[in-house]
Structure 1
């Protein structure tokens, strides 16, 4: 069963945790578990944050998105979620992506275990210059995330890819193959579809991007999306999504049973629109 929540219908993250929501960063190719206690989790969560910087994202959206993740990581709600389990630690890496092969690590694997380490990661996110890519390869981002998990020296009891995007896959391999490869490894994929602009016939944007993410991108036990339809809700949505992931919770509203045999939005719609646009 998959779940979706639009920001307008969010339950407050602080309520989940019994607190307030108030709130205000290339791994080396080492073996994944080099220590002798390789079967013992060293962190509660391995979290890959995969952030869309394709050309369809304007500079204002890119800046708001960056700030949203930085503020979320140092927020009171995030730190409360981190403290919810004694000795809780999160291993996090943050990279930006656009076309297949265009992935840039902003934060290599880092452990967040309290306010100090959270502030250091947030500062590094904000200090990195904003960049803008070209096409949209969700499959490339997921495959890159799988490599990062293999290179992570920290073992977690849960592994999650947190992927944002404002359009469908239109470059690289089909997205469903990459998704299924991640699910086969026990990795959960959650989505942050960004729907703040009306689709244009001159682009490969689509209507119902939220349904596309539900049926073609996310997966795993308790996987969910959080839809952003208004720029002013960027930070709230990002913060709530990270809190849920760190706490190991899923939204309790907007449940969408995964009963349909066929996706409600074709999973190759981005590739098709890209081909149609090239023939014009």
Structure 2
């Protein structure tokens, strides 16, 4: 049913004007608050989410007009690194190769601030270097508020972000903290992302209770984004 809907979408007027149906950038937080174990949980969680049967089915619904994916990591103003350059998701093998790249990635920095606005700028530059797609979506994962560089709420207001949707994946505190304290911090960070980070029609946040919950949260977010694209365009 998903593939039938996507193929119908590919046949609509204007489909030939784009080489893909969605340009999707995933930005991973590697600021100083993220330790080595949490860094690996993030990479392994993303690999797990991308290779889940449900995400694969949704992503590969119309390989004729594929989703194109880029993954980068970010922390302070001066630190951003592409882990997976623009790749069309045209087969399960292509998705598996991305997952293997993530699983073999090694961290190059163990410190840094949290520059969400700079991460937005970096992603916007990557969109301009990437394929021409019907939609452009930026996913920013993070466990803290902006404390370096331009404020994200000012960056997203610039006209160059008019056609970019920004969603967020908020990551809660370590499980060693008290339950009430963790819940309050998570609620506060979620409110921050809603007010200052996410952007565009239908933008939303997903919540991971901690880095160990990252895979589940990322899968839910990817499914919502990919499904929303097909249904929204058909509507």
TM-score range, shorter chain: 0.7 to 0.9
Q: Are 2:87 and 1:87 aligned?
A: no
Q: Are 2:41 and 1:61 aligned?
A: no
Shift of 1:56: 0.6
Dislocated runs of 4+, deviation >6 Å? none
Residue 138 of structure 2: aligned partner: 161
- The structure with the largest helix share of the pair is 2
- Number of equivalenced pairs: 210
* Aligned with residue 107 of structure 1, among 84, 87, 90: 84
Q: Are 2:113 and 1:135 aligned?
A: yes
Q: Which runs of 5+ in 2 are unaligned?
A: 3-13, 179-184, 231-235
* Bigger relative contact order (CA 8 A; separation at least 6): 1
Contact 1:167-1:206 at 8 Å conserved across structures:
no
Specify whether residues 232 and 206 from structure 1 end up closer, same or farther in structure 2 by C-alpha distance, changes over 3 A only: closer
* Aligned with residue 175 of structure 1, among 152, 155, 162: 152
Greater mean deviation of Cα atoms: 122-131 or 186-195? 122-131
Contact 2:42-2:211 at 8 Å conserved across structures:
no
Residue 40 of structure 1: aligned partner: 17
* Aligned with residue 116 of structure 1, among 93, 103, 115: 93
Residue 208 of structure 1: aligned partner: 188
Q: Are 2:122 and 1:144 aligned?
A: yes
Shift of 1:76: 0.5
Residue 202 of structure 1: aligned partner: none
Specify whether residues 85 and 109 from structure 1 end up closer, same or farther in structure 2 by C-alpha distance, changes over 3 A only: closer
Residue 246 of structure 1: aligned partner: 226
Specify whether residues 183 and 211 from structure 1 end up closer, same or farther in structure 2 by C-alpha distance, changes over 3 A only: farther
CA RMSD of superposed structures (Å) = 2.6
1:80-119 Cα offsets, whole Å, 9 max, x none, are 1123346341111111000012101111111111201101
Contact 1:97-1:133 at 8 Å conserved across structures:
no
Q: Which runs of 5+ in 1 are unaligned?
A: 1-16, 18-36, 200-204, 251-280
User: How many Å separate the matches in 2 of 1:223 and 1:64?
Assistant: 25
Residue 266 of structure 1: aligned partner: none
User: How many Å separate the matches in 1 of 2:221 and 2:186?
Assistant: 23
Q: Are 2:200 and 1:223 aligned?
A: no
User: How many Å separate the matches in 2 of 1:116 and 1:194?
Assistant: 29
User: How many Å separate the matches in 1 of 2:210 and 2:146?
Assistant: 22
Normalising by structure 1, report the TM-score.
Answer: 0.69
SS of 2:72's partner is strand
Shift of 1:46: 0.2
